[in-house]
């Protein structure tokens, strides 16, 4: 019974870990722009796995997420551009950012 529990625990850990890597990516923001829906950012490392197919690797920070937009702009203007970006499943053409984590 202990072996089964151990194997189950290990398999759950690895399935969660591999899923997590599909929804985040660390890199340097190399371009930003603004659109009606909010702010678009582009990383030098591409996009997370769940964002494949987003136009030109743009990721959307929705307009209503003012804190994320403010932090991104402040870091961009200060020259600190390394972020870990956590994304949600694509609901529109652009991949949606759910969290940003400045690395510097």
β-strand partners of 62: 38
- Contact present, 90 and 52 (Cβ < 8 Å): no
**What are the DSSP E strand ranges found in 1-104?**
24-35, 38-43, 59-62, 82-87, 95-102
For the cut 50, the answer to whether the pLDDT of residue 12 exceeds it is no
pTM for this prediction:
0.77
CA separation (Å) from 2 to 7, 68, 92, 101?
9, 45, 45, 39
Q: Which pLDDT band, with edges at 50, 70 and 90, does 92 fall under?
A: confident
Q: Which pLDDT band, with edges at 50, 70 and 90, does 3 fall under?
A: low
Q: Which pLDDT band, with edges at 50, 70 and 90, does 27 fall under?
A: very high
User: Residue 80: exposed, middle, or buried by beta-carbon count in 10 A (0-12, 13-18, 19+)?
Assistant: middle
Higher pLDDT pick, 91 / 5: 91
């Amino acid at each position: 019974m202990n072996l089964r529990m151990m194997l189950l625990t290990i398999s759950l850990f690895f399935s969660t870990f591999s899923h997590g890597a599909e929804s985040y990516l660390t890199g340097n923001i190399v371009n930003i722009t603004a659109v009606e829906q909010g702010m678009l950012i582009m990383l030098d490392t591409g996009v997370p796995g769940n964002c494949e197919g987003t136009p030109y690797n743009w990721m959307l920070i929705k307009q209503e997420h003012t804190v994320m937009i403010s932090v991104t702009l402040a870091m961009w203007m200060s020259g600190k551009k390394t972020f870990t970006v956590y994304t949600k499943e694509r609901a529109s053409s652009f991949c949606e950012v759910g969290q940003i984590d400045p690395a510097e």
